[in-house]
Chain A
């Protein structure tokens, strides 16, 4: 196992750590396991999707119950945890409804979050030894 942290002595703990790292920063779970190239591609792809989505005026949805469908968007956006936290604290990603690119921008941001869930789970599977 490439991840060699003193406090992570069991395989299961390492796998959970890679899952969490991958969720926090796209591709970090792979980079920690010496899958540098793959992790870098994941990082660039997710970052590009998010940056394009934000520049198109897409919205990072907060948790709100007034419109139940936006709860799904919230969970999708939460996949990109750092971007979600930054968007909430620095107040960007509010969405520009008047722009024609608003819908596509929102889809880009939600897509990036959903893909990052898959990437983090992939890092978990690699650490568990289920995948190469």
Chain B
């Protein structure tokens, strides 16, 4: 069984999605890198931030 950690699973998933979408949505290498990195950070940091936000409402 691999990826017992949900954080690692999420990070790897975000990486592949960012790579594919940056190649589809942007034309030149520089903007691809910028777009891919932004997407990756939005997905990972956003999920972590939302996770901590939900922690406020934990029983």
Answer whether A and B are interacting partners.
yes
B17 surroundings in chain A (CB, below 8 A)? 111, 115
Residue pair A49, B4 in contact (C-beta under 8 Å)? no
A111 surroundings in chain B (CB, below 8 A)? 13, 17
Given contacts A107-B13, A108-B13, A132-B27, contact A115 B2 (CB under 8 A): no
- Residue interface bits A108-132, CB-to-B below 8 A is 1, else 0: 1001000100110010000000011
Question: Which size class do A's interface residues fall under?
Answer: 20 to 34
* Contacts A/B (CB < 8 Å), 24 sampled: A41-B19, A41-B20, A41-B23, A42-B23, A45-B19, A45-B20, A46-B20, A49-B13, A49-B16, A56-B1, A56-B2, A99-B1, A101-B3, A101-B9, A104-B3, A104-B9, A107-B13, A108-B9, A108-B13, A111-B13, A115-B20, A118-B20, A118-B24, A122-B24
Give me the interface of B with A, judged by CB distance under 8 Å.
1-4, 6, 9-10, 12-13, 16-17, 19-21, 23-24, 27
